[in-house]
Amino acid sequence: MSLSHAYAPIPSADQGAALLNKALDLGITHFDTAALYGFGANERLLASAIGHRRADYVLASKCVLGEVNGKRGLDGRPEAIAASIDASLERLQTDHIDLMYLHRLDRNVPIEESVGALVRAKEAGKIGALGLSEMSAETVRRAHAVHPIAALQTEYSPMVRNPEVAVLETCRELGIAFVAFSPVARGLLADRIRSDAYGEGDLRSQFPRYSGDNLRHNLAIVDAFNALAAELGSTPAQLSLAWVLSRGAHVIAIPGTTSIAHLEEDVGATDVVLNDAAIARIDALFAPGAIRGARYSVAAQAQVGTELLPNEELASD
The count of C-alpha atoms lying within 13 angstroms of the C-alpha of 194, restricted to the half-sphere facing its C-beta, is 2
Rounded Cα–Cα distance for residues 6 and 201 (Å): 7
Pairing of strands 71-74, 65-68: antiparallel
**Residue 285: how many CB atoms within 10 A of its CB?**
17
From 37, 101, 156, 296, active-site residue: 37
Is 296 designated active site? no
Cα separation of 79 and 33, whole Å? 21
Q: Which CA distances in Å does 118 have to 111, 180, 202?
A: 11, 22, 32
Is-contact 152 136, C-beta < 8 A?
Answer: no
Residue (of 16, 27, 67, 49) closest to 268 by Cα position = 27
Q: Active-site residues: which are they?
A: 37
